[in-house]
Amino acid sequence: MRQTLIAMSIAAALASMAGCSKDSQETQAANAVAPVAAEATASAEGQAAVVKNNPLLAEWSGPYGGVPAFDKMKVSDLKPALEYGMAQNLAEIDAIANNPQAPTFANTIESMERAGKALSRVFTYWGIWSGNMSSPEFRAVQAEMAPKLSAFNSKIIQNDKLFQRVKAVFDARNDSDLSAEQKRVVELVYDQFATNGATLSGEAKQRYAEINTRLAELHTKFANNVLADEEGYDIFLRSDQLGGLPESFVKAAAALAEEKGQKGNYAITNTRSSMDPFLTYSDNRELREKVWNNYYSRGDNGDEHDNNAIIAEILQLRDERVALLGFDNYAEWRLQNRMAKNPANAIELMEAVWPAAVARVHEEVADMQAVADAEKAGIKIEPWDYRYYAEKVRAAKYDLNSDEVKQYLQLDKLREGMFYVAGELFNFSFTPVAEGKVPVFHEDVKVWEVKDKTSGEHIGLWYLDPFARAGKRSGAWASMYRDHTTFDGKETVLASNNSNFIKGAPGEPVLVSWDDAETFFHEFGHALHFLASNVSYPTLNSGVRDYTEFQSQLLERWLSTDPIIDNYLVHYKTGEPIPAELVAKIKKAANFNQGFATTEYLASALVDMKLHTTDPEGIDPDKFERETLDALGMPSELVMRHRTPHFGHIFSGEGYSAGYYGYMWADVLTSDASEAFAEAEGGFYDKEVAGKLVKYLFAPRNAMDPAEAYRKFRGRDAGIEPLMRDRGFPVPGEQGAGAAAGE
């Protein structure tokens, strides 16, 4: 259901920077869409004029089935475009709801799938401003539109006439001649309504809408606070403070400082892409501590950008909202339609891995402390020391230097390697689109056309926005500007990958760490999932959160396959392939520091789940975090990957809330599926296994139940044993598990 899914995902992530009283919230929720609904009655000529004069509403034109007019984006057009798009969408919904004919799949579900196209186009531009090009002007529009968008969404979900038509089709689905794909659409659309308050009535329905309005404000206020702390805590170094830092990092830091008006100095930004390498290599312990504190204190500085009160209110509102639906806690509601099904199953998986991960951390810390003691450093390992001394242990234990590895990890060559993998597994080819042929929103963005290698059929476009800049949120992600659909004429995919690599000095290649290279492959996996889609309806391109990370995590495995190593990991100066002995060291050290990686992730996932299964009344988020980690036995030498005050996955929207465990759930599938390739005659490029991978795990998207899809691929359910083997942790009933970790 195009309009509902888009509205729910966007409205949940929006927010207002201004708070309002309960009374004013109620007034806004009740009246926000009245003006835009009235606009829907305007003359056809007037409507046409609005569309013609607002490029954000215009149908996409140009090559490749039409492309977004990113070159015509203006923030001043955003508010009127949203208002018009909502009005048009509500008019479409009212027409469907008031259709005098008996409800059918065609006149109800298909009509809903067809509705909301103009608003969908506007949200594409919204996503660019929100994620890639945020500005004070955009955030002002965010603040104003958050309650309006939430109220708009509520008017659709709580339209009882519409819901009764959906329910009628749902109730009759097994007695009709609908295809399996059509039945799946009906079930997903019905579920969107039933689990989001459509079954409520009276005061409960009104309160549900009020809560959504307030949450819309809080979610983006949370995100904007984190962004403010990322932008507000740059550190500028002198040349005598660069000890230990690699040449490539120093050059990039110098270029960044010059860009920020500090020519001659070196900028360390408050983002992971800058923090992580600094903590790994800098010899200056005092600066390491400062950089660490800046990063892990985002949203937790007791100032106007502090998120603790916001978190407390979000948790209380989420708990109140699901109670209206009869659930004991938010996590129960969230997981009902996930692969895990309930919080107990998710916690069981995490707690099964936790002890082995923590035990490995203690081993890693002992190794690091021994190095520090041998150097007579006179310190106890602290969190800002972990990466630094881990790198020293890596060098001593495996004779492996991460900076040496980086010399063979050029961003452009990695991209070529990803294209090779896509060609071998998916039969895709990637051809650069001539500059200027397809509009882009920033000069750093490049575009490729994707085709079927055999038939030459156009599949879609792939956009790449690789570099960090002011106004761009941290991390890496994939976006879809247009879904693959066929029910109403074929539409091809427009997919995007977005990263925050530090741009090199002019003429210098961008060198990345092995972890960053894996992340690059990971996000490309999401894009391939979009591009491989073979479904008819927009709703079927939605995802099940603890499953959609599986496909992307799986693609990380191809980074270390022989064709990539042999052909794309070449030295940035000499062009020589990475030496076999260095590759052997990388593979031998594959599970190095796995205690750190697994524990910091699981700590975040467990805290997320416990936050959403506890009574939030009077909760103090900082105190809850500390006490939960203490009860878990969290080692003092590291922290959660995402501390609660900046945990955007779960508090800047609801996509991952009570769902961060999903990466681990998906990794169980990843490890198991990897063994399917490892066991195949052709290894990771085996054509038969690759064909099943695309057919069952990528192309169906959400047209098939994920558990059923995985069984069709593997012939059985996945077990936890491959995951434990992958991480070098002991596997019950197996001997010599520690050997996998290079012990």
Q: Which residues are tagged catalytic?
A: 523
Q: Could you write out the DSSP letters of every residue in 447-495? A: EEEEEETTT--EEEEEEEEEE--TTPPSS-EEEEEE--B-BTB-B-EEE
Burial of 116 (0-12, 13-18, 19+ CB in 10 A): buried
**Whole-angstrom distance, CA of residue 680 vs CA of residue 668:** 19
- Whether residue 397 contacts residue 286, with contact meaning beta carbons closer than 8 Å, is answered with no
Residues 292, 296, 298, 299, CA torsion sign:
negative
Q: Which long-range contacts (CB under 8 A, 24 or more apart) does 568-575 make?
A: 568/413, 568/414, 568/416, 568/417, 568/420, 569/408, 569/409, 569/413, 569/417, 570/408, 570/410, 570/413, 571/407, 571/408, 572/407, 572/408, 572/410, 572/509, 572/511, 573/407
Please give the backbone phi and psi of residue 136, each rounded to the nearest 5 degrees, phi first: -55, -35
List all residues 6 or more positions away from 72 whose beta carbon is below 8 Å from its beta carbon.
55, 439
- Whether residue 483 contacts residue 117, with contact meaning beta carbons closer than 8 Å, is answered with no
**Whole-angstrom distance, CA of residue 214 vs CA of residue 289:** 37
**Whole-angstrom distance, CA of residue 612 vs CA of residue 498:** 29
Q: Could you write out the DSSP letters of every residue in 179-203? A: -HHHHHHHHHHHHHHHTTTTT--HH
Residue 98: closest CA among 110, 86, 88, 107:
107
Q: Which amino acid is at 371?
A: V
List all residues 6 or more positions away from 518 whose beta carbon is below 8 Å from its beta carbon.
556, 559
For the chain, give the number of residues: 743
Task: Give the count of alpha carbons within 13 A of 340, CB side only.
Answer: 28
Name the H helices within 589-679.
594-611, 621-632, 648-651, 662-679
**Whole-angstrom distance, CA of residue 452 vs CA of residue 434:** 19
Q: Provide the token pair at 52.
A: 């013609």
Please give the backbone phi and psi of residue 391, each rounded to the nearest 5 degrees, phi first: -65, -35
For 634, the enclosing helix (H) or strand (E) is none
- Whether residue 12 contacts residue 654, with contact meaning beta carbons closer than 8 Å, is answered with yes
Q: How many CB atoms lie within 10 A of CB 375?
A: 11
- 19 torsion bin: left (phi>0), alpha (psi -120 to 50), beta (else): beta
**Whole-angstrom distance, CA of residue 692 vs CA of residue 679:** 15
Which stretches does DSSP call E strand in 210-256? 235-237
- Whether residue 220 contacts residue 146, with contact meaning beta carbons closer than 8 Å, is answered with yes
Q: Provide the token pair at 487.
A: 């029910």
Residue 212: closest CA among 485, 456, 12:
12
Q: Provide the token pair at 12.
A: 């949940």
**Whole-angstrom distance, CA of residue 198 vs CA of residue 108:** 16
Name the H helices within 98-135.
111-114, 117-131
Q: Provide the token pair at 714.
A: 């593997």
- Whether residue 219 contacts residue 654, with contact meaning beta carbons closer than 8 Å, is answered with yes
Whose structure tokens read 């994707």? Answer: 450
Q: Give the pairing type, strands 493-501 and 477-482.
A: antiparallel
Q: Provide the token pair at 537.
A: 């309806």
List all residues 6 or more positions away from 45 whose beta carbon is below 8 Å from its beta carbon.
none
